[in-house]
Amino acid sequence: MAADQTGDVVPSSLSAKVVGSFAYLTVRDRLPTILTKVIDTIHRNKNKFFEEYGEEGIQAEKQTISLLSKLRNELQTDKPILALTDGLEDADSWNRYLQRQQGQCGGQEVVSWFKSPWLYVECYMYRRIREALWLNPPISGYDVFNEGKTRSFFESQQAIMALCTYFEAVDKKTEDISENQLREYFNKLLQVCLWGNKCDLSISAGVDNSQKISPIDSLLALQTFILVDDSDAVWSTLISARQQRQSGKRSSGRVDFVLDNAGFELVTDLVLADFLVSSGLAGEVHFHGKSFPWFVSDVTAEDFQWTIRQTMAANHRWMSQRGLRWQQYVKEGVWSYHDHPFWTQPNEFCDMAADAPDLYAALQVADLLLFKGDLNYRKLAGDRDWDHTVDFDTALRGFGPAPLCSLRTLKANIQVGLQPGQGSKLSSQDPDWMTCGKYAVIQFYSPNSDRQD
Ligand SMILES: O=P(O)(O)OC[C@@]1(O)O[C@H](CO)[C@@H](O)[C@@H]1O
Ligand SMILES: [Mn+2]
């Protein structure tokens, strides 16, 4: 346990210093594997760099590989974490964060891969990959994860077609259906969006885990694996916001998606967002992605635009209809994409109000925030070793710009808000229930009700 700046006693951060823990296995095994795949990808594209940039491209490829090999050695031999040297706009805040880490261990311990918080060192690795590319123009803009992200999209085509076909049938009806029927469609598409998070390439260390079967048909069977289901609270938040809008009271009608993975998961986000707008449950949607390649499959601006273009160009009537509408939403400003640097920093979200007040203020405008995926959940709960029965709002430690919901498949050993005994029952049935990706939560929190709407 440790005391945070407010003096509250909080559990320690998950860390690879706990030998055998999921953090330990990730830092020891998965991160070096991911780095090796990045090095291989760059090496495999050597000729492409030569064709595009001549000898300079070859030099850049060689230099980048040598920087990444050095990074891998630092990681595997638990060397001290180094300050960033690329002078990018976020380098200072990263280096201040390193000093914060050095301050917290009071100089007794070095800040290193196996001794520091797992959240910090894992995020730091992806920022060092960016540094290695950035320091080697002309390949500094190359997305080392692009091949995996586009492959995941192409290998999920059947599921995407099934989802767009289902949406077409729903879309026809949303004009004149009962609120209960609308709620049923909402719950289905919310769960499709939840399970889309299984398709994450960093848990699989890049091995394909695209969606192979129809996402709608599998929902019933998956229901039992949802450990916390606050769908009703999410629905009521949307309905009361709509009522406020209809009675002329302040409500932005805005829903924000804090995105996670590209590929099939992003399509499930876009379909849900499409449903929210076309059913009148939202007036505008803001998407928050990453400003550089992150955690292997996370969405960048290029992935967001590419996915809409690809869906529009699909040789499938209902897919291309979706893509056309999504392109229209972006053009009209009904949908907008943002990539604030805070999302690619190591901070727990309880730091956001202090460290990124502009972003916190922007999120406060929304009626509802949807946080996708496991890394966002880890940051919501501070990646700390909470007891499973601790309330979600306790773990949020004051983070609450607006009503929020985490849609997360469990891929790290952190989970709060469970019933007494639920965690131990799961452990007896399935020892790796927190990290196998089979279980999920739809977990909701709303800031205290005196929020003036
Ligand atoms: O946020 P996502 O894409 O759902 O998952 C991110 C993740 O794959 O990265 C870490 C493992 O390396 C874990 O936090 C988690 O499994
Ligand atoms: Mn991810």
State the residue for tokens 């009962």.
178
Ligand 1 centroid distance, CA of 328 (Å) = 32
| pLDDT at position 217 | 84
Q: For the chain, list the domains and their CATH numbers.
A: 2-134 (1.20.930.60), 146-445 (3.40.50.10880)
- State which amino acid sits at residue 421: G
- Quote the mean pLDDT of the chain: 94
Global pTM? 0.96
Neighbour order of strands in the sheet with 368-372: 226-229, 440-445, 404-409, 368-372, 254-258, 284-288, 335-338
427 is written with which tokens?
């452990």
- Does 30 sit in the ligand 1 pocket, CB within 6 Å? yes
Which of 21, 269, 375, 380 has most ligand 1 atoms within 8 Å of CB, for mutation? Answer: 375
Q: What is the predicted ipTM?
A: 0.96
- Does 260 sit in the ligand 1 pocket, CB within 6 Å? yes
Ligand 2 centroid distance, CA of 209 (Å) = 13
- Ligand 1 atom at shortest distance from the alpha carbon of 122: 12
Q: Is 87 left (phi over 0), alpha (psi -120 to 50) or beta?
A: left
Kindly state the greatest CA–CA separation across the chain. 66
Residue nearest atom 6 in ligand 1 by C-alpha distance: 375
Ligand 2 centroid distance, CA of 82 (Å) = 24
Task: Please provide residue 440's backbone torsions phi and psi, each rounded to the nearest 5 degrees.
Answer: -150, 165
Which of 15, 27, 28, 203 has most ligand 1 atoms within 8 Å of CB, for mutation? Answer: 203
Digit-by-digit pLDDT tens for the chain (453 residues) are 766 666 678 999 999 999 999 999 999 999 999 999 999 999 999 999 999 999 999 999 999 999 999 999 999 999 999 999 999 999 999 999 999 999 887 767 789 999 999 999 999 999 999 999 999 999 999 999 999 999 999 999 999 999 999 999 999 887 788 999 999 999 999 999 999 987 666 666 666 766 666 778 889 999 999 999 999 999 999 999 999 988 888 777 999 999 999 999 999 999 999 999 999 999 999 999 999 999 999 999 999 999 999 999 999 999 999 999 999 999 999 999 999 999 999 999 999 999 999 999 999 999 999 999 999 999 999 999 999 999 999 999 999 999 999 999 999 999 999 999 999 999 999 999 999 999 999 999 999 654 444
34 is written with which tokens?
């991911």
Task: Please provide residue 348's backbone torsions phi and psi, each rounded to the nearest 5 degrees.
Answer: -70, 150
- Ligand 1 atom at shortest distance from the alpha carbon of 261: 3
**DSSP-assigned beta bridge partners for residue 445:** 404
**DSSP-assigned beta bridge partners for residue 147:** none
| Residues 437 and 409: beta-carbon distance below 8 Å | yes
3-state secondary structure the chain: CEECCCCCEECCECECCCCCCHHHHHHHHHHHHHHHHHHHHHHHCHHHHHHHHCHHHHHHHHHHHHHHHHHHHHHHCCCECCCCCCCCCCHHHHHHHHHHHHHHCCCCCCCECCCCEHHHHHHHHHHHHHHHHHCCCCCCCCCCCHHHHHHHHHCCHHHHHHHHHHHHHHHHHHHHCCHHHHHHHHHHHHHHHHHHHHCCCCCCCCCCCCCCCCCCCCHHHHHHHEEEECHHHHHHHHHHHHHHHHCCCCCCCEEEEECCECCHHHHHHHHHHHHHHHCCCCCEEEEECECCCCCCCECEHHHHHHHHHHHHCCCCHHHHHHHHHHHHHHHHCCEEEECCHHHHCCCCHHHHHHHCHHHHHHHHCCCEEEEECHHHHHHHCCCECCCCCCCHHHHHCCCCCCCEEEEEECCCCCCCCCCCCHHHHHHHHCCCCCCCCCCEEEEEECCCCCCCC
Residue partners of 409: CB distance under 8 A and separation at least 6: 194, 195, 197, 198, 200, 373, 374, 437, 438, 439, 440
CA 264/CA 156 separation, integer angstroms:
6
Task: Please provide residue 358's backbone torsions phi and psi, each rounded to the nearest 5 degrees.
Answer: -65, -40
| pLDDT at position 4 | 67
- Does 211 sit in the ligand 1 pocket, CB within 6 Å? no
pLDDT, one tens digit per residue, over 369-418 is 999 999 999 999 999 999 999 999 999 999 999 999 999 999 999 999 99
Among 170, 404, 161, 403, CA closest to 274 = 170
Q: Which protein residues have their CB within 5 A of the ion that is ligand 2?
A: 200, 260-261, 295, 298
| Residues 344 and 292: beta-carbon distance below 8 Å | yes
| pLDDT at position 216 | 85
